[in-house]
Copies of this chain bind each other. A is one copy, B any other.
């Protein structure tokens, strides 16, 4: 039963309406998290933590993904042992038009 639960969507995410500007800016205010978000923006798939090149340990990387998820910047989906990550582009664009693209541009 536990194994079944692990494969379903159990990871908490804020609703679109709950996404706060200050939290999003905080999530983006770290060089490693900016790099992760840039990598997700450039990716066509839903890369896992280990598949993005960042100069931190896996546990630190996991922490950064958690901060991004809790702020509403990314969506995480468990698939077996892997946690797959996608940007919440539509939600961010609806809440704060232009913000994500402006930040991604500035991060290049």
Residues of A within 8 A of B (CB): 21-23, 25-26, 28-31, 34, 95-99, 102-103, 105-107
Please give, as numbers and ranges, the residues of chain B lying within 8 Å of A95 by CB-CB distance: 106
Residues of the B chain whose Cβ atoms lie less than 8 Å from the Cβ of A103: 21, 25, 99
B residues less than 8 Å from A96 (CB atoms): 102, 105-106
Chain B residues, CB < 8 A from A30 = 22, 26
27 A-B interface contacts by CB (under 8 A): A21-B34, A21-B103, A21-B107, A22-B31, A22-B34, A23-B29, A25-B25, A25-B26, A25-B28, A25-B29, A25-B103, A26-B29, A26-B30, A28-B29, A29-B29, A95-B106, A96-B102, A96-B105, A97-B102, A97-B105, A98-B98, A98-B102, A98-B105, A99-B102, A99-B103, A99-B106, A102-B102
